[in-house]
């Protein structure tokens, strides 16, 4: 049967519109089952807590469970690779963090390309670190510490949570920008016992795990690493007040496998932004020593690219190698 030209064009236009309609319908019905948030660190740590708070909020908002699944190992790479290989339907997400940006340079060969295989969805929190010292260190300010370190080269030990970890690269950035010489001591376990005992002298620690020792004067805080002062430690100056341009953060956000439909990514991004604007959730995040960091997919993508370039330079300058 020969169709009139007008009828044929009408049918063709309708057929062309079907993919767009189906994508919109997909976003409207998403999620259709439980969503897994892969957290590439063990349970109970700050990233895990933040992911669970966000997952609980999204579960209540969207009517499907958002379940945190911990897949630690290889400096975040095991969990990241799992998500990179997952089906791009929005039901497997990744808690993206600073180590992902560092690892792009730190590891010579990975089975995935973080920038290519994980697409940005939304920022969640900016998690400042705090430069803290054992009270036996005579310096009470950052300028005093720099002067003390330069007069005692190689005699100050900087502890970290392992080569390439946020505390390590934050410390290496400090060394790079100030010219001080400190010995790096990577720890696979908890560094606080030795820091409290004075066997090591300085640590760039995440605020949630450090704040109790600081408030009880067991450790002395010299500066926070964020661009602005922390609400959790409002009396502690920023590092940038003494070392212009210094900023370091153990940030977190959400990523998804490459190929996840834009409609799902945008829906998730808007819901996460709504979560970060919720006064109750915002208070809980602030109490942990973190700052909400809402970002659109485009903004978060640029942020990740900038962080990858920034920390790549630090890794190369310091000659950091994998444990």
Q: Look up the CATH superfamily of 17-127+250-318.
A: Bordetella uptake gene, domain 1 (3.40.190.150)
pLDDT at 3: 47
Could you read off the pLDDT tens digit of each residue along the chain, which spans 323 residues?
454 555 545 555 565 555 554 556 666 789 999 999 999 998 888 889 999 999 999 999 999 999 999 999 888 999 999 999 999 999 999 999 999 999 999 998 999 999 999 999 999 999 999 999 999 999 999 999 999 999 999 899 999 988 999 999 999 999 999 999 999 999 887 899 999 999 999 999 988 889 899 999 999 999 999 999 988 899 999 999 999 999 999 899 999 999 999 999 999 999 999 999 999 999 999 888 888 999 999 999 999 999 999 999 999 999 998 86
Residues of the chain with CATH 3.40.190.10: 129-241
Distance, CA of 322 to CA of 58 (rounded, Å): 36
- List Cα–Cα distances, 23 to 58, 249, 296, 321, in angstroms: 21, 36, 20, 44
What fold does the segment set 129-241 form as a domain? D-Maltodextrin-Binding Protein; domain 2 (3.40.190)
**DSSP character string of 187-223:** -SS--HHHHHHTSS-EEEEEHHHHHHHHHTTSSEEEE
Count CA within 13 A, CB hemisphere, residue 303: 27
Whether the upstream peptide bond of residue 31 has omega within 30° of 0, thus cis, is yes
Residues of the chain with CATH 3.40.190.150: 17-127+250-318
* pTM over cut 0.75: yes
């Amino acid at each position: 049967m020969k169709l009139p030209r007008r009828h044929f064009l009408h049918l063709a236009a309708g057929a062309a519109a079907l993919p767009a309609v189906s994508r919109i319908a997909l976003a409207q019905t998403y999620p259709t089952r439980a969503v897994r948030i892969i957290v590439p660190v063990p349970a109970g740590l700050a990233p895990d807590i933040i992911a669970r708070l966000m997952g609980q909020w999204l579960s209540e908002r969207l009517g499907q469970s958002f379940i945190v699944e911990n897949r630690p190992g290889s400096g975040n790479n095991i969990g990241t690779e799992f998500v990179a290989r997952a089906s791009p339907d929005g039901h497997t997400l990744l808690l993206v963090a600073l180590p992902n940006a560092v690892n792009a340079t730190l590891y010579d060969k990975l089975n995935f390309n973080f920038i290519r295989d994980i697409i940005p969805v939304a920022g969640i929190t900016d998690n400042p670190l705090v430069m803290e010292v054992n009270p036996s260190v005579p310096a009470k300010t950052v300028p005093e510490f720099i002067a003390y370190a330069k007069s005692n080269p190689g005699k100050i030990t900087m502890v970290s949570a392992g080569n390439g970890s946020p505390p390590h690269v934050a410390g290496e950035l400090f060394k790079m920008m100030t010219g001080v010489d400190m010995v790096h001591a990577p720890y696979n376990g908890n560094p606080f016992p030795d820091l409290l005992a004075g066997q090591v002298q300085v640590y760039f620690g995440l605020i949630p795990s450090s704040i109790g020792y600081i408030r009880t004067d067991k450790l002395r805080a010299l500066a926070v690493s964020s661009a602005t002062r922390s609400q959790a430690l409002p009396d502690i100056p920023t590092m940038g007040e003494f070392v212009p341009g210094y900023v370091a953060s153990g940030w977190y956000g959400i990523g998804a496998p490459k190929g996840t439909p834009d409609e799902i990514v945008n829906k998730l991004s808007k819901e996460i932004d709504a979560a970060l604007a919720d006064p109750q959730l915002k208070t809980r995040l602030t109490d942990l020593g973190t700052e909400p960091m809402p970002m659109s997919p485009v903004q978060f993508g640029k942020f990740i690219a900038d962080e990858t370039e920034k920390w790549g330079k630090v890794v190369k300058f310091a000659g950091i190698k994998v444990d």
